[in-house]
Amino acid sequence: MRISELSRHSGVPIPTIKYYLRDGLLPPGRATAANQADYDEGHLRRLRLIRALIGVRGLSVSATREVLAAVDERQDDLHLLLGTVLGALPADRDAADDDDAADAADDDANAAAPDLTDVEALTARMGWKVSSRTPAAQVVAETLETLRVLGVEFDWRSLLPYAELADRTAELDLDQLRDAGGPLQQAERAVLLAVLLEPALLALRRLAQEHHSAQRYGG
Amino acid sequence: MRISELSRHSGVPIPTIKYYLRDGLLPPGRATAANQADYDEGHLRRLRLIRALIGVRGLSVSATREVLAAVDERQDDLHLLLGTVLGALPADRDAADDDDAADAADDDANAAAPDLTDVEALTARMGWKVSSRTPAAQVVAETLETLRVLGVEFDWRSLLPYAELADRTAELDLDQLRDAGGPLQQAERAVLLAVLLEPALLALRRLAQEHHSAQRYGG
């Protein structure tokens, strides 16, 4: 199909498609004339994936490129693929949208690496065989450190019931991949669910908080 | 205490404290001389809260100001306070860190509001008495819409087991507030846990995914 049809089928405007092509996120079509190329179903699928990663999750172009490369190269090793995808996503997904705030936050960015003892106690208690050097472990350690500095009574033992629920969530996640078809479909599904469900899971927690807070404290 | 002591006790550099004072996030100290002011424990506590919101969660200055105002004004109505705090946080916390990617994403930003029928079916099934007009409901609707467009077999019924776990997570969250002391302490604790736990909960899910993925697919 031509670029105009690709645009119509995907809902992505032509200038955006051209930007993705120029940036290498979308592979070039098959040249059919000096200034014309032909695109196939693979392009359409890839375009929808890019749109989800950038448009919905707000990933950077470089993180998106890394995720797409992982899908292409590691579809036969789902464990490695998942690790790459989760590694490509910043573990703390926030970004200050104010320059001055970002400058102020930079003061903290150079702080010493957090103590991992508590995270290691937590993962040992959970029976999780994971490295404490991953960005995710770092985030947990930083959160506990922050709560301690702030004088909030909340330590790694307080996180245990949350970790139990996270454990069951991860089991659900992996269940989603069982009957996904071939390796490429399984890999694509892994990326979509790993990447796209994060905001939805936090949103579900907020909806549930809204409900229970009204039940307990509502007037 | 003087600003230098405030800096030493909080670990926040003096220029950053001055920036927060200038920006009104931190109330002025009691003037003791032409160019000198006195700060108290309240300033120290507030400074640590700001540091957590901006430095750890990467909130913007304006969102931080809104959260702090809510703590001050609504400490007697925890349900309203929680609503304000959760409303001040963008429900989808991602921000593209690449200008071109942001431009490309903008094409999507003007898309029609998502269909809320599925979210309403989900919350009805869960027995959650919540509005489907909140940013959180919007995020769930957008995620389902994206998965549908991408042809992933995953609808609101697939989210139900996740919603069950989110429901139990929210119950845990509210349990944390029960014995927090007076209204101000309860309000501060609500903010800290609502705001700071989000990245940690996603990080716990990732650690659990890493563990279970190695168990199932590891070589």
A47 within domain boundaries: no
Number of domains in chain B: 1
Distance CA A21, CA B47 (A): 47
A159 within domain boundaries: yes
A117 within domain boundaries: yes
Which of A19, A100, A140 has the CB atom closest to B61's CB atom?
A100
User: ipTM surpassing 0.90, yes or no?
Assistant: no
Tell me the pLDDT tens digit for each residue of A187-206.
Answer: 777 777 777 888 899 899 98
Task: Please name the residue of chain B whose CA is at the shortest distance from the CA of residue A48.
Answer: B150
**Pair B61, A101: CB distance under 8 Å:** yes
Tell me the pLDDT tens digit for each residue of A63-99.
Answer: 888 888 888 887 777 777 777 776 666 554 443 333 3
Q: What is the 3-state secondary structure (H, E, C) of A34-64?
A: CCEEECCHHHHHHHHHHHHHHHHCCCCHHHH
Which of A55, A61, A170 has the CB atom closest to B212's CB atom?
A170
- The reported pLDDT for the residue numbered B167 is 96
A127 within domain boundaries: yes
- The reported pLDDT for the residue numbered A169 is 93
Q: Is B44 on the interface with A (CB under 8 A)?
A: no
Q: How confident is the model at residue A124 (pLDDT cuts 50, 70, 90)?
A: very high
Q: CB count, 10 Å around CB of A107?
A: 17
Which of A62, A100, A171 has the CB atom closest to B19's CB atom?
A100
A1 within domain boundaries: no
CA distance readout (Å), A41 to A1, A60, A146: 9, 24, 48
Boundaries of domain holding B124: 102-167
Mean pLDDT over the full length of chain B: 81
CA distance A6 to chain B (A): 14
B128/A211 Cβ within 8 A: yes
B130 within domain boundaries: yes
Tell me the pLDDT tens digit for each residue of B100-115.
Answer: 444 444 444 445 677 8
**Contact list, A210 vs chain B (CB under 8 Å):** 82-83, 86, 128, 130-131, 134, 136
B146 within domain boundaries: yes
Rounded to the nearest 10 degrees, the angle between the axes of helix B14-22 and helix B41-50 is 90
B132 within domain boundaries: yes
- Overall average pLDDT of the B62-66 stretch: 85
- The reported pLDDT for the residue numbered B150 is 73
- The reported pLDDT for the residue numbered A13 is 93
